[in-house]
Amino acid sequence: MNLSEKIAIVTGASSGLGAAFAIALVAKGATVYGLARNAEKLSAIQNRLGDTFVPIAMDITNQNAITSWVNNTFSNSYLPHILINNAGAGYFGKVDELSLEQWHAMINTNLNGVFYISAKVVPFMKKNSDSCHIINIGSVLGKTSRAGAVGYSASKYGIQGFSEALLKELRTDNIKVTCVNPGSIDSHFFKDSGIEPHHNMLQPADIATLVVHVLETPDNFLIDEITLRPLNPRPMT
Ligand SMILES: NC(=O)c1ccc[n+]([C@@H]2O[C@H](COP(=O)([O-])OP(=O)(O)OC[C@H]3O[C@@H](n4cnc5c(N)ncnc54)[C@H](OP(=O)(O)O)[C@@H]3O)[C@@H](O)[C@H]2O)c1
C-alpha cells in the first residue's frame, strides 16, 4: 500500500506506540484519526503533526460512542484504509489479587473495544476498492505467559485468535490482518504496569517503522503475525 493520502484510524494514539504510529503515518502522507481518552495529549500531538492528525477523544469501551463516530465519519465516498487496534490496558497480579475492575478494564479495552471498532469499520473497508489493512497489537504475553499475567495474557491470547479468524474471514475481501506481538516497550504502559523495566526496551519509533514496512508491502503480500523482542533484556541495576 502506498500510504500517501490513505485514511487511517489509530486507537491509543495519545502516547507510546499509538503516538509513534500516528507520527510515522502522517510523515508518509496519510490522514490519521487518533482515538484515546485524554483530549489534552491528543491535541498536543495535533499541534506537533498538523491537521492530518485528527484527534478524537473517545473511550473505545463505549460501544455506542464508537458506533456513532464510525458511522458519522465514514461514508461510501469517504472510506478508511487502515485500522490499528493499539489501545491497551495492563494490570499484573496473582489471580486472587487482581481486582474485578482491573480484569474488566483489560477485557473491555483489549478485547471488547477491538471488536466494537473492528465490527463497524470492516463494512466500510469492504466497500473500498483499494486494499485495506487491520493491524492488531498483541503482545509476547499473547504467545507465552508467566505468573502474574492471567488477565493480560487472557486478553492478548484472545487477540491472537481474533486476528487469525479475522484474517481468514477478510482476505478474500482484499483486507489484510496482521497481529504484532511486541516484547517490552519503553512506554507509560510498562512504567505503570509494575513490571521491572530494563535498559534495552523496544523503542516505539522502531516498532512504528516496522509497522509502516508491513503496511507498505505489495497488495498480494500478507504478513499475518510478527513477534519482536529486545535482544538483551538485562534487569536494571
Ligand atoms: N509497553 C509494553 O511493554 C507492551 C508490550 C507488548 C504489547 N503492548 C501493547 O502495546 C499497546 C500500546 O501500549 P503502549 O506500550 O504504547 O502503552 P501506553 O503508552 O500506556 O499507551 C496506551 C494507549 O492506550 C490508550 N487507551 C487505554 N485505554 C483506552 C480506552 N479505553 N479507550 C481509548 N484509548 C485507551 C491510552 O490513551 P488514554 O489514556 O488517553 O485513553 C494510550 O494512548 C497496548 O495494546 C499494549 O498492550 C505494550
Q: Report how far ligand 1's centroid is from the alpha carbon of 172 (Å).
A: 30
- Give the strands of the sheet with 31-36, arranged side by side: 53-57, 31-36, 7-11, 82-85, 132-137, 175-182, 225-228
How many CB atoms are closer than 10 A to CB 218?
A: 8
* Position 236 in a domain: no
**237 occurs within a structural domain:** no
For residue 113, name the pLDDT band (cuts at 50, 70, 90).
Answer: very high
> Of 108, 107, 157, which is closest to residue 136 (Cα–Cα)?
157
Per-residue pLDDT of 199-226, as tens digits, reads: 889 999 999 999 999 999 999 999 999 9
Single pTM value for the model: 0.97
- Does residue 235 lie within any of the structural domains? no
User: Does the beta carbon of 18 sit less than 6 angstroms from any atom of ligand 1?
Assistant: yes
In a domain, 1, yes or no: no
Measured CA to CA in angstroms, residue 233 lies from 137, 186, 200, 201, 204 at distances of: 21, 12, 6, 7, 16
Neighbouring CB atoms inside 10 A of 145's CB total 16
Burial status of residue 63 (CB atoms within 10 A of its CB: 0-12, 13-18, 19 or more): middle
Give me the domain span that covers residue 117: 7-228
Distance of CA 77 from the midpoint of ligand 1 (Å): 31
State the residue for C-alpha cell 465516498: 77
Residue 171 lies in a domain: yes
Cβ of 34 closer than 6 Å to ligand 1, yes or no, is no
For position 121, which CATH number holds? 3.40.50.720
Q: What is the DSSP letter of 223?
A: -
- Cα–Cα distance between 116 and 79 in angstroms, integer? 18
Confidence of residue 45 (pLDDT cuts 50, 70, 90): very high
Determine how many CB atoms are found less than 10 A away from the CB of residue 94: 10
How many distinct structural domains can be found in the chain?
Answer: 1
Cell of 103: 480484569
Q: What is the mean pLDDT of the chain?
A: 95
Sign of the CA dihedral with 14 first, then 45, 183, and 158 last: positive
Q: Which atom of ligand 1 is nearest to the CA of 204?
A: 16
Question: Residues with Cβ < 8 Å from 191, sequence gap 6 or more?
Answer: 197
Q: Is 189 in the pocket of ligand 1 (CB under 6 A)?
A: yes
Q: What are the cell numbers at 123?
A: 463494512
In a domain, 29, yes or no: yes
Task: Return the active site residues.
Answer: 152
Name the closest-CA residue to atom 48, ligand 1.
185
The whole-number pLDDT of residue 184 equals: 93
Is the pLDDT at 129 greater than 60? The verdict is yes
Q: Is residue 112 part of a domain?
A: yes
What per-residue confidence (pLDDT) applies to 233?
A: 84
| Contacts of residue 39, Cβ cutoff 8 Å, sequence gap at least 6 | 55, 57
Do 68 and 45 form a contact (C-beta atoms < 8 A)?
no
Query: Quick one: what percent of the chain has pLDDT higher than 70?
Result: 96
Any domain includes 197: yes
85 lines ligand 1 (CB under 6 A): no
Mean pLDDT of the region 157-186: 97
